[in-house]
């Protein structure tokens, strides 16, 4: 089993998302520790991008705060290398294709392996374009995580069959951000996935409360929470990690 798949061995997985360098890498390190100590099964680390087209306002602002703070890809690699000494759960990068491409795909993906990153989520790299990075991800043993959206319909089987690590099921149309209600028929989507693959499915986009998390986890193998955590960073800045710990615990317990 791939390293990211291991996140699903401890019951339903809770996957928090944290933007690296928001507001600085010391805070990110403390937030990662708080999440890991309180039951996170996998951590999605965002490498900020200037123009994150799949993100809603909350994560867009986090990207801006991080970039305005001067964080660079190399600094993030150093930070991960350091924190990897104490964090044993899988960690993946979430960023945009240009961050990888521009750094030099091979140099970037080789670095992922070297510093202990287990997977890569690139929301602007659909199935049709995955060959851009997949051969390198295979070479260095980094899972290239596939996404399925509410509009995927006839594409679900094709994506599920070739998916690696886990499948990221996008709960709703639109961009990332907290939603009051998730209306997509996710159980039908996951049913189609199950017909073609036994890969774990994690649902993300719009989940913020323990009740929503429970509901989503009942349909799948885990939940991904981004904006709700990023909002704590927005609100409390350097103090946010002490709020992130209890929040992660409440979410993991609910699953």
Partner 1 sequence: MTNPKGRFGVHGGQYIPETLMNAVIELEEAYDHYKNDPQFNQELTTLFNEYAGRPSRLYYAKKMTKDLGGARIYLKREDLNHTGAHKINNVLGQALLAKKMGKTRLIAETGAGQHGVATATAAALMGMECVVFMGEEDTIRQALNVYRMRLLGAEVIPVKTGTATLKDAVSEAMREWTSRISDTHYCLGSVMGPHPFPTIVRDFQAVISREIREQILEKEGRLPDAVIACVGGGSNAIGSFYHFIEDKDVRLIGCEAAGRGIDTAETAATIATGRPGIFHGMKSYFCQNKDGQIAPVYSISAGLDYPGIGPEHAHLYDIGRAEYVPVTDSEAVDAFEYLARTEGIIPAIESAHAVAHAIKLAPTMDKNQIIVVTISGRGDKDCAAIARYRGEDLYE
Interface contacts to partner 1, rule CB under 8 A: 49-51, 53-54, 56-57, 60, 67, 72-73, 96-103, 123-129, 131-132, 147-155, 159, 170, 173-175
Nearer to partner 1, 126 or 210 (CB): 126
Half-sphere exposure of 107 (CA within 13 A, CB side): 9
Nearer to partner 1, 168 or 247 (CB): 168
Compute the least distance from the CB of residue 49 to partner 1, in Å.
7
Nearer to partner 1, 14 or 96 (CB): 96
- DSSP-derived secondary structure letter, 95: -
Comparing CA positions, the residue from 75, 72, 141 lying closest to residue 109 is: 141
Nearer to partner 1, 150 or 165 (CB): 150
Partners of 222 in the β-ladder: 13, 202
- Beta strands 13-19 and 167-170, pairing class: unpaired
Compute the least distance from the CB of residue 5 to partner 1, in Å.
20
DSSP 121-140: E-TT--GGGGGGTHHHHHHH
CA–CA gap between residue 49 and residue 64 (Å, rounded): 8
Comparing CA positions, the residue from 63, 85, 93, 80 lying closest to residue 25 is: 80
In 171-253 the beta strands, taken as DSSP E runs, fall at 201-204, 222-225
Nearer to partner 1, 54 or 137 (CB): 54
Compute the least distance from the CB of residue 175 to partner 1, in Å.
5
Place of tokens 């339903």: 12
């Amino acid at each position: 089993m791939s390293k990211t798949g291991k996140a699903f061995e401890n019951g339903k997985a809770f996957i928090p998302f944290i933007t690296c360098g928001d507001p600085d890498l010391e805070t990110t390190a403390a937030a990662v520790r708080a999440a890991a100590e309180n039951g996170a099964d996998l951590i999605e680390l965002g490498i900020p991008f200037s123009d994150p087209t799949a993100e809603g306002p909350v994560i867009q602002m986090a990207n801006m705060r991080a970039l305005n703070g001067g964080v660079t890809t190399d600094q993030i690699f150093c930070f991960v290398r350091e924190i990897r000494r104490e964090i044993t759960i899988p960690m993946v990068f979430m960023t945009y294709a240009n961050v990888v491409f521009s750094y030099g795909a091979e140099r970037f993906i080789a670095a992922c392996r070297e510093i202990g990153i287990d997977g890569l989520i690139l929301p602007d790299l659909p199935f049709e374009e995955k060959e851009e990075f997949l051969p390198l991800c295979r070479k260095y043993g980094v899972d290239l995580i596939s996404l399925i959206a509410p509009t995927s319909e006839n594409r679900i089987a094709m994506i599920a069959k070739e998916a690696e690590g886990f499948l990221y099921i996008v709960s709703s149309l639109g961009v990332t951000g907290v939603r009051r209600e998730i209306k997509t028929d996710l159980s039908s989507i996951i049913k189609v996935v199950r017909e073609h693959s036994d890969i774990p499915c994690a649902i993300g986009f719009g989940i913020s409360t323990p009740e929503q998390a429970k509901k989503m986890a009942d349909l799948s193998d885990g939940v991904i929470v981004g904006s709700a955590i990023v909002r704590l960073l927005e609100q409390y800045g350097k103090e946010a990690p002490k709020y992130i710990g209890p929040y992660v615990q409440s979410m993991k317990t609910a699953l």
